Chains A and B, each alone.
Chain A
Amino acid sequence: MNRRILSPWVTVRVQFVLAAFFVVAGIAKIADPPGFAHEVHNYQIVPGALVNVMALVLPWLEVITGVCLFLGIAVRTSARILGILLAVFIAALSINLARKHPVECGCFGTAKVQKTDAQRLTDMKWAIARDVGLLLLVAQILAASRADVRRP
């Protein structure tokens, strides 16, 4: 069972799924940096002076790590970075959920549709669940690549 989950066949597909997700998410944010800065600001976690830096750099980090995963370059480093990003996203959403402060995820850029607070809070829970799922994919890549290193 363990061997099947960590097989190269599965790992390559997991890499493609993660890569596609982060490249698409990154490009959507790159298309509208002020819109993403707005979403980052709404989380009320990042100091005002750093909002724009984060809004400019984070999407590119997602795209670059996604492309590296797709091409099989620096797979472990890319997976680690994506793991850290996902942990940060989960923490940011959880903090605002605990505050009962509804925010747009901002995961794929600016939301086009106005939502109610209740809808936003529900979406935040789904976004956390999705990010936990993606974190499991990152864990699979890291575990598989470690198994590769150990294999004689």
Chain B
Amino acid sequence: MLAAAVVCAAVSNAVAGPERHLRWIGSYEAAPGGTSAAARPAGGPAPTPAASSSVAGAAASSAAARAFPPHPEKPWAEISGDDVVSLHERGDVPILDARRTSVYREGHIAGARPFSIWESDVDDKVKAFFTEGHDPSQPIVVYCSGGECEDSHMLATKLHMAGFDNALVYKDGFPDWQKRGLPVHTGDTP
């Protein structure tokens, strides 16, 4: 019966779409609730500075660097809703949604990109994000559903292992954003 269950699971997983597909071996590095440094894999991508940006962009980046300094010793730092609002207003800070894609579709922070930690393509998305040339010391906001939700911390750990030193976890998550009446988009696009 166990063998039959394994076969059925393999077939079902093979035909599953990207939102239902799971890798057989999970890679859930984050210790929930922990704030200690996560070891980066040897030979992983090395952090590279971003391509040159506009003067205004550089000024904004330096302002952000003062407020949110990189923290290479730990995967994430938690920030409040007010911090997220100020970073969102800047417009040049990537915001990543760690919730399920189906939930993202129902409503997400305007401009946020879907990076569901529980879907099998998350590692590919992190790699692709790295190759986009983002400055690894600049803030990246990650969020999920707030409260007990640890998905954003897990995504922050993945980003840290990929070389990003400034992942900022929106502590109260999307429910807080909604409560504040801030811009929300629905659908597949940011």
* A interface residues with partner B (beta carbon < 8 Å): 30-35, 37-38, 41-42, 44, 48-53, 55-61, 63-65, 68, 74, 77-78, 81, 102, 114, 117
Tally B residues with Cβ within 8 Å of A. 34
Contact B8 A102 (CB under 8 A): no
Instruction: Looking at the assembled complex, report how far the CB atom of B31 sits from the nearest CB atom of chain A, in whole angstroms.
Output: 9
Instruction: Looking at the assembled complex, report how far the CB atom of A114 sits from the nearest CB atom of chain B, in whole angstroms.
Output: 7
* B interface residues with partner A (beta carbon < 8 Å): 1-2, 4-6, 8-10, 12-13, 16, 19-29, 32, 100, 116, 118-120, 145, 147-148, 150-151, 175
Instruction: Looking at the assembled complex, report how far the CB atom of B100 sits from the nearest CB atom of chain A, in whole angstroms.
Output: 7
Instruction: Looking at the assembled complex, report how far the CB atom of B88 sits from the nearest CB atom of chain A, in whole angstroms.
Output: 23
Q: A34-B118, A117-B148 are in contact. Are A48 and B29 (CB under 8 A)?
A: yes
Q: B1, B118, B148: which contacts A78 (Cβ < 8 A)?
A: B1
Contact B12 A41 (CB under 8 A): no
Contact A48 B28 (CB under 8 A): yes
Among A33, A35, A48, A77, find the residue whose CB has the most chain B CB atoms closer than 10 A.
A33
CA of A59 to CA of B100, assembled, Å: 20
Contact B8 A52 (CB under 8 A): no
Instruction: Looking at the assembled complex, report how far the CB atom of B11 sits from the nearest CB atom of chain A, in whole angstroms.
Output: 10
Instruction: Looking at the assembled complex, report how far the CB atom of A107 sits from the nearest CB atom of chain B, in whole angstroms.
Output: 17
Q: A34-B119, A61-B2, A68-B1 are in contact. Are A44 and B22 (CB under 8 A)?
A: no
Instruction: Looking at the assembled complex, report how far the CB atom of B78 sits from the nearest CB atom of chain A, in whole angstroms.
Output: 19
Interface pairs (22), CB distance under 8 Å: A34-B19, A34-B21, A35-B118, A37-B22, A41-B28, A52-B22, A52-B23, A53-B25, A56-B10, A56-B13, A56-B22, A57-B2, A57-B9, A59-B9, A60-B4, A60-B8, A61-B1, A61-B2, A74-B1, A78-B1, A81-B1, A114-B147
Classify the secondary structure of A's interface with B: helix
Q: B16, B29, B151, B175: which contacts A33 (Cβ < 8 A)?
A: B16
CA of A87 to CA of B17, assembled, Å: 33
CA of A64 to CA of B13, assembled, Å: 16
Instruction: Looking at the assembled complex, report how far the CB atom of A116 sits from the nearest CB atom of chain B, in whole angstroms.
Output: 9
Contact A56 B1 (CB under 8 A): no
Q: Which residues of the partner chain B approach A53 to less than 8 Å between Cβ atoms?
A: 24-26
Contact A60 B26 (CB under 8 A): no
CA of A53 to CA of B27, assembled, Å: 12
Contact A102 B148 (CB under 8 A): yes
Contact A65 B118 (CB under 8 A): no
Instruction: Looking at the assembled complex, report how far the CB atom of B160 sits from the nearest CB atom of chain A, in whole angstroms.
Output: 16
Contact A77 B116 (CB under 8 A): no
Q: Which residues of the partner chain B approach A30 to less than 8 Å between Cβ atoms?
A: 12
Question: Residue on B with the closest CB to A48?
Answer: B28
Q: A34-B100, A34-B119, A60-B8 are in contact. Are A48 and B22 (CB under 8 A)?
A: no
CA of A77 to CA of B100, assembled, Å: 37
Q: Which residues of the partner chain A approach B29 to less than 8 Å between Cβ atoms?
A: 48
Instruction: Looking at the assembled complex, report how far the CB atom of A48 sits from the nearest CB atom of chain B, in whole angstroms.
Output: 4
Question: Residue on A with the closest CB to B118?
Answer: A34
Q: Which residues of the partner chain B approach A48 to less than 8 Å between Cβ atoms?
A: 26-29
Q: A57-B6, A64-B1, A102-B148 are in contact. Are A51 and B20 (CB under 8 A)?
A: no
